[in-house]
Structure formats: C-alpha cells, structure tokens
Amino acid sequence: MAHPRTPRLKNGVLHTDICVIGAGSGGLSVAAGAVQMGASVVLIEKGEMGGDCLNTGCVPSKSLIAAAHAAHAARQAGRFGIHLPPPEVEFAGVHRHIHGVIASIAPHDSVERFEGLGCTVIRAEARFTAPDRLEAGGQVVRARRFVIATGSRAAVPPIPGLDRVPHLTNESVFDLKDRPDHLVVMGGGPIGVEMAQAFRRLGSAVTVLERATILPRDEPEAVALLRGHLLAEGVTIEEGAQVAALHPGAEGQGLEVEFDQAGRRRTLRASHLLVAAGRQPNIENLGLEAAGVDHTPRGITVDGGLRTSNRRILAVGDVAGGPQFTHVAGYHAGIVIRRALFGLPAKADYRALPWVTYTDPELAHVGMGEAEAREAGEAVTVLTESLSGNDRARAEGAGEGLAKIVLGARGRILGATILAPRAGEMIGLWGLAIQKRLKVGDVAQMMAPYPTMSEISKRAAGSHYTPSLFSARTRFLVGLIQRVLP
C-alpha cells in the first residue's frame, strides 16, 4: 500500500482531510476506507475502540445467544434419539466465552491497527468550538470534512424508583458472572426478546413487560408464531403492561415492579431488571451549536446524503437519527466515502433495508411490510409459505415458521419476512431482489439446493403462479397442444 497522507500540525492546529468522531462500526469503516484511499484521517474516540457493536452490542449478545443455543440443543437432543444429562450451566464460563470472543475481535478495531493504516488516533472527548474545528484532548483539529459517528446508548425511561434499584442495560448485562434467578426484561423489542430467550435457556426465570405488543415493527403473523415459541420455552410475556414504579426488594434483595395491565395494578418480584426500552443518540457535549449542526432528541438532522446543516459535517449510524443497525452504519460509511473523497452525489436508499431478530427461530425482514405497502397505495399481493412443508426443517425438527412475501403490481417484490432457523442467512436473497428490482418470477425460476431451509423462498415465489398454472384454462391449453404435437 502506498504511504498514506498524514495530518499536518501547523501553528498548534492539526489539519486533516477527514476527522472522524467515534470509533464504532460506522466511524471505523469511514476511517479505514478513507486512509487507504489516500486521505489524511484523524480518528477520535473517548471510550472503547469498536464501539457498542463490539463491546456491548452485537458481538456479546450473539455470543450469549450461542451459549444459550448450546444448552437448549442439549435439552432437546432426546428428540433425535440422543439422550444426554441435563446441561449444567456454568454462568462464569458463559461470561468467559463472551469476553473471549470480544477479545478475539478487538485487534481488528484497535488503536494499533488504525495507526498502522496511517490514521492519527486521539483517545479523548471531542467538542466542536467552531463550524470548521474541534478540540480533543487539548489538540485543536481542523478538517475538510468531519464525520460524526458517536452512536447511541440504552434509553432509560423516567419511571419512578428506577434510580433506586439496580438495573441492567446492554452496557452491563454482559458483565454478569452469576445467573439471574428471575430476570425481568422491560421492553419487548428485538433486544428484549433476544435476551429473554437466551437467559431462559441458560436457566433463569424470565418475564417480559411490554407496554404494547412485542416486536411491533414485524409482520404480525410471524410475531404470533415466535411468541408461541417463546411461551413454549417458559418465557412469560406480559403485553399491554405499563411499568408504573420500581422498588427495592425486601432486605435489599432484588426488586419489585409495579405495572398496570388491563385496568389493574400488579406487582412482580424479581432478582434482576434489564432495561431494553429503546435507544438514544450520543449527541451531548459535542458542541453541535458551535458547529451549526441541527439536531433533535432523535439525533442529528441529515439530508439524504447524510450531510448536516453544516456542509463540512456528515453523520453516520445511530446518531444520524435513522435505522439503528450496525449494517446501516457500514452502509452509511460507503456513502460518506463516495461523497467526501470523490464528490459523488450518493444518497441513502432504504428500500432493501434488512433486519434480523436473533431469536430461535430467527425473524428476518427486508423491505416493506404488508401494512406499509397498503398504506403506500401499492396493489398488494401476499404470498405465504409455511416452514412445515420444508423437508430440511422436518429433518431438523424445526417448529413453526413461515416465509411471507409482499408483492406490488406485475410481481414486483416489495418486501419479505422469514421466520425460520438461520432466517438471517436467507433474507439476503430478497434484499438483492428488491435492490435490483427483480420480479417474483426471477426467484421462482432460481435453482435452490435440496434439502435446504432456503427452498422456502423459491416455493413462496412459485406459489404466485399456482392459480394460473393449475387452472382450467391451462388444462384445456395443455390438452389442445397434446392433440396436435407429433
């Protein structure tokens, strides 16, 4: 690799092409891409390199889920004629597994790696002092372009008594070395249901309190099936439950949760509380007013090209106020690279935005849901294929699941939902189809390997043609052709 440009120190000010604030997935992607393409880069991070995804989000949560899956598989082995003793969960060992995975990935996100690439890394809090400069660790930095990639953190709702009881968020739950006896999860979004199932499989009693319904952004049919899976495993789900107050438990042990449900007040005692009630952007203390950057409680205001009200400053990832996923932050990084380095008019396009809830089975979605498509005035056709008809699913003893495909006029693919083991690995096909504006017939004609779970996508697509292929008109036409063929 050619020697990269380096920031220049002049009159006490560090001048650079790109200054990135935040070393999470979005910021690191911008920094690595920009410096390797020849730009000078200053990277600023006040906390842990790797950000939320590596340290308190995707990596530790999926490591915990993997441990929980292993315990569950041992309990379920008897279905296949394999009889094992009940698994003994050593929670301290689960903790070691989680943090071992983090440690194995950390060098890829480390200061040493990025300095090796040619970035100047400053470990300090950054604060804008003017529209074209900031200060971090006593160093003034001036850049052609700034990229704010400070991410988000767990939102803590204003519930009476929450400040008086110990509670966990995604920033602390993975530090547990002892298994909770009874974990209450406040919030039934993706993080809440993932952690609920994982801790239940690891031996905790688990109650989910959700003020509306769990997973409200996903297709109701798929959520209903997933709810059944969770209940069957022993997760208690209280929907329509509004937490009213929290109290320390008797003799300082655990806590009590008061919540209102269906017009009556109920009290629940538990050993631990996990708050999974959404996220809030990290925008405090950045000096956004001095920089002339507009923002709201949802995050920094950006246009389609991720540019803020200050033309020098862009924002990526959770802090930009849009979809909050690691893969979105990486996608944003590509847009910033094209705009800031090459001056190209790149814009974010979320038509093929995928997301996955990593329960078992996984719930994966991309594009528009049925209700969203109808509200948009599309001529909607819905295709649904049950997982029960999939031979691989039967061989593996998989439970209920489905593929639901939402089509517009003339077979245009608008969205897809899959509830199945490893659905996150299968949803990419439908994302590519939406991105490339394919028709459902393109997927129906695909040759899928047998036996695989992914056949559910081909069968769902093929069902679009079933009414016409097996109609009386088709039978008449085939009969006519057979009479005239030699």
> Do 187 and 210 contact (CB within 8 A), yes or no?
yes
Q: Which of 313, 252, 300, 297 is nearest to 128 (CA)?
A: 313
Structure tokens belonging to residue 57: 């989000």
Q: Binding site: residue ranges?
A: 62, 150-152, 187-194, 210, 278, 318
* CA dist., res. 444 & res. 384, Å (int): 14
- Binding residues for NAD(+), as ranges, are 187-194, 210, 278
| Range with the poorest average pLDDT among 51-65, 124-138, 242-256, 329-343 | 242-256
| Cβ-contact 402, 384 below 8 angstroms | yes
Q: What is the pTM of this model?
A: 0.95
Q: Smallest Cα–Cα separation from 419: which of 384, 445, 395?
A: 384
Task: List, as one string, the DSSP characters of 203-226.
Answer: T-EEEEEESS-SSTTS-HHHHHHH
> Cα(199)–Cα(332) distance, rounded to whole angstroms?
33
**Is pLDDT above 90 for 466?**
no
Instruction: Inform me whether the pLDDT recorded for 194 exceeds 90.
Output: yes
Confirm if 124 and 137 have CB atoms less than 8 A apart: yes
d(CA 65, CA 71): 10
| Amino acid letter for position 141 | V
Length of the chain, in residues: 486
Amino acid at 117: L
| Residue 97 β-bridge partners | none
- Cα 309 to Cα 77: distance, rounded to the nearest angstrom: 57
How big is the chain by its Cα radius of gyration, in Å?
26
Q: Is pLDDT of 2 > 70?
A: no
CB atoms within 10 A of CB 336: 27
**Longest CA–CA separation in the chain, Å:** 92
pLDDT of res. 41: 98
Percentage, residues of the chain above pLDDT 90: 93
483 C-beta neighbours (distance < 10 Å), count: 7
Residue holding tokens 């950390």?
106
Taking only the tens place, the pLDDT of each residue in 87-134 is: 999 999 999 999 999 999 999 999 999 999 999 999 999 999 999 999
Q: What CA–CA distance (Å, rounded) separates 402 from 361? A: 10
CB neighbours of residue 350 within 10 Å: 10
In the numeric block, which tokens belong to residue 360? Answer: 């078992």
pLDDT tens-digit map of 297-325: 999 999 999 999 999 999 999 999 999 99
Please tell me the predicted confidence (pLDDT) of residue 449: 96
140 burial via Cβ count (<10 Å: 0-12, 13-18, 19+): middle
Sign (positive or negative) of CA dihedral 151, 339, 128, 288: negative
What are 406-465's pLDDT values in tens digits? 999 999 999 999 999 999 999 999 999 999 999 999 999 999 999 999 999 999 999 998
**Higher pLDDT, residue 249 or 382:** 382
CA atoms of 88 and 346, how far apart (whole Å):
52
Distance between terminal CA atoms of the chain?
Answer: 67
pLDDT digits (tens, 9 = 90+) for 232-281: 999 999 999 999 999 999 877 899 999 999 999 999 999 999 999 999 99
Residues forming the annotated binding site for FAD?
62, 150-152, 318
Look at the block and give the residue holding tokens 């246009």.
303
The residue written with tokens 């031996």 in the block is 203
Per the CB < 8 A criterion, the answer to whether 208 and 214 are in contact is: yes
Residue with tokens 């995928």: 354
Taken in order of first residue, the domains within the chain and their CATH numbers are: 8-49+110-154+280-342 (3.50.50.60), 162-278 (3.50.50.60), 354-469 (3.30.390.30)
Q: Which residues of 48-65 are buried (b: 16+ CB within 10 A; e: fewer)?
A: ebbbbbbbbbbbbbebbb
